[in-house]
Amino acid sequence: MIDLCKVTKTYITGTVEFKALKDIDLQIDRGEFVAIVGPSGSGKSTLMNLLGCLDVPTSGEYRLEGHSVNKLTSNQLADIRNTKIGFVFQAFNLLPYATSYENIEVPLLFAKVSAKKRRDRILELLALVGLADKLNNKPTELSGGEMQRVAIARALANDPDIILADEPTGNLDSKSGTAIIEMFHQMWKSGKTIILITHDMKLADQTQRIIRLKDGAIDGNGNLA
Partner 1 sequence: MPFQIIKQFFNDMRRQKLRSMLTMFGIFWGTCSIVLLFAFGTGITEAQIKSQKGIGENIAIVWPGITAREFKGLPRGRRIRPTEDDIRLIKQKAQSITHISPEYSRWNVKMKYSRNETIRNVVGIWPEFGLMRNLIPDYGSRFINNLDLSKKRRVAFIGNILKEDLFHEEGAVGKTVMINNVPFTVIGVMKEKKQDSSYNGRDARKAFIPASTFRTMYSFRYVNDFVIQCPPTVSMERAKREVYEIMGAKYRFDPDDTEALKIWDTTRGFAFLRNFFLAFNTFLVGIGVATLITGGIGVTNIMNVVLEERTKEIGIKMALGARKSAILSQFLFETMLITGIGGILGFLFAWGVVSGVGMMGFEDYIGVPRVSLFSGVLAIVLLGIIGTLAGIFPARRASNLQPVQAMKLF
Ligand X SMILES: Nc1ncnc2c1ncn2[C@@H]1O[C@H](COP(=O)(O)OP(=O)(O)OP(=O)(O)O)[C@@H](O)[C@H]1O
Interface residue list for partner 1 (CB under 8 A) = 49, 52, 54-56, 74-75, 78-83, 87, 93, 95-98, 102, 106-107, 109-112, 154, 158
Smallest distance from the beta carbon of 201 to partner 1, in angstroms? Answer: 27
107 binds, among Mg ion, partner 1, ligand X, none (CB under 5 to 8 A by kind): partner 1
- Smallest CA-to-CA distance from 49 within 12, 13, 4 is with 4
Is residue 87 within 8 Å of 164, Cβ to Cβ?
yes
Q: Which is nearer to ligand X, 47 or 122 (CB)?
A: 47
Is residue 196 within 8 Å of 207, Cβ to Cβ?
yes
Is residue 164 within the footprint of ligand X (CB under 6 A)? no
Q: d(Cα 190, Cα 39) in Å, to the nearest integer?
A: 31
Q: Which is nearer to ligand X, 18 or 97 (CB)?
A: 18
Q: Which of 42, 45, 103, 193 binds Mg ion (CB under 5 A)?
A: 45
- Smallest CA-to-CA distance from 59 within 221, 37, 50 is with 50
Q: Which of 2, 20, 165, 218 binds ligand X (CB under 6 A)?
A: 20
Measured in degrees and rounded to the nearest 5, phi and psi for residue 193 equal -85, 130
Is residue 225 within 8 Å of 208, Cβ to Cβ?
yes
Is residue 158 within the footprint of Mg ion (CB under 5 A)? no
Q: How many residues does the chain have?
A: 225
Smallest distance from the beta carbon of 111 to partner 1, in angstroms? Answer: 7
Residue numbers of the site for ligand X (CB under 6 A)? Answer: 11, 13, 18, 20, 38, 40-46
